[in-house]
Amino acid sequence: MDAWKTRKTWLNMFSRLPGEAARTPEETARAELNCFLESHPEESCTLSVREDMGEDYILTDTGVTGGSAGILYGAYRWMACRALRVPLPSGKQSPACALRMLNAWDNMDGTIERGYAGRSLWFEGGRFSYDPARIRQLGRMLASVGINVLCLNNVNVREPAQGLISETLDELASFAALLRPFAVRLMVAVDFAQPVREGLDTADPLSPEVQRFWAEKAKKVWEAIPDLAGFLVKADSEHRPGPHTYGRDHADGANMLARAVAPYGGVILWRAFVYNCLQDWRDQKTDRPKAAYALYQPMDGRFCENVILQVKNGPYDFQVREPLSPLFYGMEHTRLALEVQLAQEYTGHQIDLYYMAPMWEELRAEMPAGSVAAVAAVTNLGRDDNWTGHPFAAANLFAYGRFAWDPASDAEAVAREWAALSYALDESQRETLVSLLMSSRAIYEQYTANLGLDWMIEPGHHYGPNPYGYEFSPWGTYNRADRFGVGVDRTSRGTDYVGQYPAPWRELYEDPEKCPEKLLLFFHRLSYGHLMADGRTLIQRLYDDHFEGARRAEELSQKLNTLDLPEPDRKEALERAALQVKNAREWRDVLNTFFFRFSGVPDAHGRTIY
Ligand code: GCV
């Protein structure tokens, strides 16, 4: 038996893997429910499908009514609530947005860009290679939290992934069929230069032959996979080809593709992660966080209906602490997708504990109403037996589904639900686990990026401290620390990044006295003697946070040790906690030493700085 089959996931309330028989979400719902009722003979539940309800559902004590996909979402929710003996949600349940996507950065050679849970679940050796039972289990994991689209290949589309919409299209179609019973549709990341790969001498979006190429391509692709969700495109970013190569702009490029896929109901997810990655570090005028807004805001209103601009949550790149991207305030006439990263590229590689839902609560508080039409998350899944490397990283996937469905979700309640579904702990131990999850982001932030000072990481792999790592690099990610102070001045006196925000944010960020402390060094360049709100100097605060963050990481590991988790989860979690403690100490000592050497100011408490 494959080891993954015996691993705990939040699907523990079901007693077996779904069979191959189910062809539709309704059949899957019936199969899952029958299985559940066998082990819960005291319960009864009938399913009623109402096609007009689509993804919506209504639950009662003895029944689920829902649309063609809603019936499945409703069945999973009903079973979870009954298994946990918690009240059913009342009234009609509807998702906040229609596209709730997972973006895999899987390469066809089996590696995963920024993957920390093993190799790809579906690619190996340049082709599809998977265990169908495991893909069904993946489908039910996604459906159980309402995720309805999976983009299965890396946005950096490299050979032979271009073949997915060409010579290996039939294999893509077979893979799509495996997920269909779980109401999960596929999406493909495509290469803007695909026409050149297939013999044309240009990929210029205004060329009629290029337009014809994509129209014919879309026809073939949707003939093979009629419910394909669409194409995801990374263009003119980090050396990928795009419309700029041909002197065209991004509305030209995205709209050309949008027209090709429109007849089939397809969408174009066009990523807004575009900036100059060949910046001269001596250049203090160019400020990377300004790049996306500067490029896209003037195009607001020019994109076709079926284009969705996919915007990372912050203006940089999934850092521990960033303000909300200003594009969410400035694109009233463009549909936007919010992109977050479950893969812990900058947040501890699924070694350090980092539960993300508190961050999504913060995003919600800043997000203007109605600005998000879709959500996407870079997945944290891989072929590891436990799916996510750190067994608790599964909580991020679970919580993402919950927040995608209902952005008003409560991070702590979701953590509690995940913990209760995943582990049979007594209440006090469960609460310990919940508190570990809930404090994890703040702890990680404290030892790695306090006060909004991101990017002090090892270049390339992005784990562990290196304050000089990106300082003289072309990536536009500088801390500009010297003997006088630290940070980039992004106020109107500096790069005027704050100018991209409307009131009240602009005024808030402009003034160091009003700027949220967590973002202070994101927006301001300050001297080491700057007095913080609590009377401590900036330098003392930097020291204190690094000492405190490392201490709390140790405490976290000790508390984790008290949990009666099943094996091998306990062993895996403890091994990772030990590595986290080591990592946190390294951050403490490297950053404190770095700042001490510049400032010459000793720690007020006489602790060891090297
Ligand atoms: C897929 C960051 C990552 C890259 C990633 C890129 C993106 O820069 O380090 O690995 O590429 O974001 O989101 O496109």
Find the mean pLDDT for residues 125-133: 97
Res. 337: pLDDT tops 70: yes
| 236 Cα–ligand 1 center, Å | 13
Is 69 found in the same domain as 201?
A: no
Distance CA 314, CA 192 (A): 25
Distance CA 313, CA 302 (A): 22
Domain closes at, from 84, 117, 140: 84
**Does ligand 1 lie within 6 Å of residue 376's CB atom?**
no
Would you place residue 20 in the very low, low, confident or very high pLDDT band (cuts 50, 70, 90)? confident
Is 170 found in the same domain as 115?
A: yes
Is 106 found in the same domain as 76?
A: no
> What is the predicted pLDDT for the residue at 12?
84
Distance CA 233, CA 258 (A): 11
| 317 Cα–ligand 1 center, Å | 8
**Does ligand 1 lie within 6 Å of residue 588's CB atom?**
no
Domain of residue 389: give its range: 99-422
What is the tally of helices (H) and strands (E) in the chain? Answer: 17, 15
Question: Which residues are CB-neighbours of 223 under 8 A, at least 6 positions away?
Answer: none
Q: What is the pLDDT of residues 435-447, one digit of tens each?
A: 999 999 999 999 9
| 141 Cα–ligand 1 center, Å | 25
Task: Compute CA distances 610 → 471, 582, 591, 602, whole Å.
Answer: 21, 17, 10, 11
CATH code (residue 452): 3.90.1330.10
The ligand 1 atom at the shortest distance from the C-alpha of residue 105 is 1
**Does ligand 1 lie within 6 Å of residue 232's CB atom?**
no
- Residues belonging to the active site: 238, 317, 345
**Does ligand 1 lie within 6 Å of residue 586's CB atom?**
no
**Does ligand 1 lie within 6 Å of residue 297's CB atom?**
no
Distance CA 77, CA 85 (A): 12
CATH code (residue 193): 3.20.20.80
> What is the predicted pLDDT for the residue at 54?
98
**Does ligand 1 lie within 6 Å of residue 273's CB atom?**
yes
> Does 536 reside within a domain?
yes
Asked if 111 and 120 touch (Cβ cutoff 8 Å), the reply is yes
Is 474 found in the same domain as 411?
A: no
Which of 352, 387, 362, 382 is closest to 553 using CA atoms? 352
**Does ligand 1 lie within 6 Å of residue 246's CB atom?**
no
* Bond before 568 cis per omega within 30 degrees: yes
> Does 608 reside within a domain?
no
> Does 431 reside within a domain?
no
Res. 478: pLDDT tops 70: yes
**Does ligand 1 lie within 6 Å of residue 317's CB atom?**
yes
Is 64 found in the same domain as 110?
A: no
> What is the predicted pLDDT for the residue at 21?
82
The ligand 1 atom at the shortest distance from the C-alpha of residue 114 is 10
Asked if 407 and 96 touch (Cβ cutoff 8 Å), the reply is yes
> What is the predicted pLDDT for the residue at 513?
97
| 96 Cα–ligand 1 center, Å | 27
The ligand 1 atom at the shortest distance from the C-alpha of residue 462 is 9
Q: What is the pLDDT of residues 45-57, one digit of tens each?
A: 999 999 999 999 9
> Does 347 reside within a domain?
yes
Is 589 found in the same domain as 460?
A: yes
Is 105 found in the same domain as 187?
A: yes
What percentage of the chain reaches a pLDDT higher than 90? 96
| 540 Cα–ligand 1 center, Å | 34
- Closest CA to ligand 1's atom 8: 317
> What is the predicted pLDDT for the residue at 1?
61
Is 114 found in the same domain as 209?
A: yes
* Angle, CA of 558, 560 and 565, to the nearest 5°: 145
Is 230 found in the same domain as 121?
A: yes
- Closest CA to ligand 1's atom 7: 273
> What is the predicted pLDDT for the residue at 554?
98
| 138 Cα–ligand 1 center, Å | 24
**Does ligand 1 lie within 6 Å of residue 113's CB atom?**
yes
| 132 Cα–ligand 1 center, Å | 29
**Does ligand 1 lie within 6 Å of residue 312's CB atom?**
no
- Closest CA to ligand 1's atom 12: 317
| 137 Cα–ligand 1 center, Å | 27
Is 469 found in the same domain as 409?
A: no
Would you place residue 15 in the very low, low, confident or very high pLDDT band (cuts 50, 70, 90)? low
> Does 145 reside within a domain?
yes
> Does 330 reside within a domain?
yes
Distance CA 62, CA 33 (A): 12
Q: What is the pLDDT of residues 489-517, one digit of tens each?
A: 999 999 999 999 999 999 999 999 999 99
> What is the predicted pLDDT for the residue at 82?
95
Q: What is the pLDDT of residues 364-393, one digit of tens each?
A: 999 999 999 999 999 999 999 999 999 999
Asked if 510 and 498 touch (Cβ cutoff 8 Å), the reply is yes
The ligand 1 atom at the shortest distance from the C-alpha of residue 237 is 14
Distance CA 395, CA 111 (A): 23
Domain closes at, from 29, 53, 84: 84
Is 72 found in the same domain as 162?
A: no
**Does ligand 1 lie within 6 Å of residue 111's CB atom?**
no
> What is the predicted pLDDT for the residue at 13?
75
Find the mean pLDDT for residues 35-44: 93
- Closest CA to ligand 1's atom 2: 317
17 or 233, greater pLDDT: 233
Distance CA 450, CA 189 (A): 35
Q: What is the pLDDT of residues 74-117, one digit of tens each?
A: 999 999 999 999 999 999 999 999 999 999 999 999 999 999 99
> What is the predicted pLDDT for the residue at 18?
64
> Does 316 reside within a domain?
yes
How many domains does the chain fold into?
A: 3
The ligand 1 atom at the shortest distance from the C-alpha of residue 339 is 13
Is 115 found in the same domain as 71?
A: no
Other Cβ atoms within 10 Å of 605 Cβ, number = 9
Domain closes at, from 57, 84, 111: 84
DSSP bridge pairs for 103: 151, 378
The ligand 1 atom at the shortest distance from the C-alpha of residue 341 is 13
- Closest CA to ligand 1's atom 13: 273
| 502 Cα–ligand 1 center, Å | 28
**Does ligand 1 lie within 6 Å of residue 105's CB atom?**
yes
The ligand 1 atom at the shortest distance from the C-alpha of residue 154 is 1
Res. 17: pLDDT tops 80: no
> Does 34 reside within a domain?
yes
**Does ligand 1 lie within 6 Å of residue 234's CB atom?**
yes
Question: Which residues are CB-neighbours of 478 under 8 A, at least 6 positions away?
Answer: 281, 455, 470, 471, 488
